[in-house]
Amino acid sequence: MHSMEDSLKTSLKPSENNMLAKLEGQKDYLLSKMHDMQLQVMVQTKTYQDTTQTALNKLEEHKKSLDMLTNSHRFDGSIDFYRNWTEYRNGFGNMFGEFWLGLEYVHQITKNRPHELLVEMKDFHGNYGYAKYDEFVIGSEYEKYELKKLGTYSGTAGDAMEYHKNQKFSTFDCDNDLAINNCAERWHGAWWYRNCQNSHLNGRYQKTTDDGSTSYWYDFKSDKRDGEDSHGATEDSLRLEKWFTKISYRNSTLPVPFVDSRDKRPYRSGGCIRGGFAPF
């Protein structure tokens, strides 16, 4: 019996190898056709580094969202976002949980074709909002991932990103902001700080704190405080419970998920050149 099974396995081996080779070739063909590299990001990140068949399954699963990519997501504080330059460059977290895709990935995606940015958010009081920008480009690592282009704003959360336009990205170990102090270190985050921030999505995940180090969107609520060059919100109503950002081709259609900031529908889901780059 065993010899018969062994013989059958031996005879089927060439067919199995041929099938795997075809799958491998199909994967390469599909990847070569993805001009914006979005699915390449999905397949080549650690989340999807598996068998050829698994990769193909993921391609099929994501083919309906070719024009859109979620590049960051936060909703429960399970991932610490106080990270160094290398981690923000290459990305961290879990694609099925909280994550930051990686500045190098986003640069590669946005550098050649026009993209839009959508930020969706929910505060700890159940208020929802969104901010949409019809253009979004970040520079290379050599340019310290500068927020080079940020288009016209529309939405319900307020324009908290305009303040950061043309600013370089900063982390606690790579200070590129315009402030005397290191904004990333001072506010326990990483962002396109200016002096220092109007938005701070990568701050601490906390409902209450006595400073502006939490994750927030400064213009989300009308009770924000004013203060030239001293940005750092402290009101509880400004702190975010959930948020994610998406980028898409400018000629595609980004969904506008929230009618206004009180919509109660269920929530849907400068630089240090250190050598070595993300795999693109």
Residue 74: the pLDDT is: 83
Task: Report DSSP letters for 27-85, one per residue.
Answer: HHHHHHT-TT-HHHHHHHSGGG-S-HHHHHHHHHHHGGGTTEEEEEEESSS-S-----H
User: Which residues, in sequence order, are CB contacts of 174 under 8 Å at separation 6+?
Assistant: 84, 85, 144, 184, 270, 271, 272
Q: What integer pLDDT is reported at residue 83 of this predicted model?
A: 95
What is the structure's pLDDT at 151?
92
pLDDT confidence of residue 42: 45
Confidence at residue 1, expressed as pLDDT on a 0 to 100 scale: 55
pLDDT value at position 52?
Answer: 45
For 96-136, the three-class secondary structure string (H helix, E strand, C coil) is CCCEECCHHHHHHHHCCCCEEEEEEEEECCCCEEEEEECCE
95-100 long-range contacts, CB within 8 A, separation 24+: 95/42, 95/45, 95/47, 95/48, 96/47, 97/73, 98/73, 98/74, 99/72, 99/73, 100/71, 100/72, 100/202
Task: Write the CATH number of the domain with boundaries 68-280.
Answer: 3.90.215.10
Domain boundaries, the chain: 1-66, 68-280
Compute the distance between CA of residue 28 and CA of residue 42 in angstroms, rounded to an integer.
Answer: 14
Show the low-confidence residues of the chain (pLDDT under 50).
Answer: 29-53, 55-56, 59-60, 62-66, 222-237, 253-271, 274-280
Q: Count of CB atoms within 10 A of residue 224's CB?
A: 20
Which residues fall within 8 angstroms of residue 222, CB to CB, at 6 or more apart?
Answer: none
Residues 6+ apart with CB under 8 A from 163: 194, 197, 198, 199, 231
pLDDT value of residue 125: 78
For position 215, what pLDDT does the model report? 67
